[in-house]
């Protein structure tokens, strides 16, 4: 009985290894935005990998000191045989997002962004440290 179950499981394991069942964006590990952050020339340089996404489907917004990057994708594929009958139709819809605290003093005009070859490149200035102002005494006469 154990061997029969093993064979049954192997059948389905092999079936799901078929490229038909592979989705480049369906695996939860691929939903994580792989990010490199480098401290360079007084700025933070972020390279966020977003393979398969188009520039139009990527959004960056700044609110309450948090920079949030969102990406969404909708994909439909349909294959037909020689007679025009549908033999396979697949759909995928998904999104991912990631937030970074950049500080309250940073504005959207301070951040530079570019998207090329599936990588979103951001340059974010470091938050300026607040210098504690010393009290200035006023002479009372």
18 has a pLDDT exceeding 50: no
What CATH number labels 29-125? 2.60.40.790
pLDDT at 41 over 60: yes
* pLDDT single digits (tens) 53-91: 899 999 999 999 899 999 998 888 888 888 888 888 888
Q: What per-residue confidence (pLDDT) applies to 32?
A: 72
Domain boundaries, the chain: 29-125
Strands 86-101, 35-40: pairing is unpaired
Reported pTM: 0.63
User: Tokens standing for 27?
Assistant: 């695996």
């Amino acid at each position: 009985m154990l061997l029969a179950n093993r064979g049954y499981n192997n059948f389905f394991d092999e079936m799901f290894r078929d490229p038909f069942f592979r989705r480049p964006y369906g695996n939860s590990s691929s939903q994580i935005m792989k990010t490199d952050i480098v401290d360079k020339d007084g700025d933070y340089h972020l390279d966020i990998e977003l393979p398969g996404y188009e520039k139009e489907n990527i959004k960056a917004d700044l609110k309450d000191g948090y920079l949030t990057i969102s990406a969404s994708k909708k994909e439909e594929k349909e294959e037909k045989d020689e007679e025009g009958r549908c033999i396979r139709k697949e759909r995928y819809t998904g999104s991912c997002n990631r937030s970074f605290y950049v500080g309250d003093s940073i504005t959207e005009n301070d951040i530079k962004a570019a998207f090329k070859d599936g990588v979103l490149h951001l340059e974010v200035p470091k938050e300026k440290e607040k210098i504690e102002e010393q009290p200035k005494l006023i002479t009372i006469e």
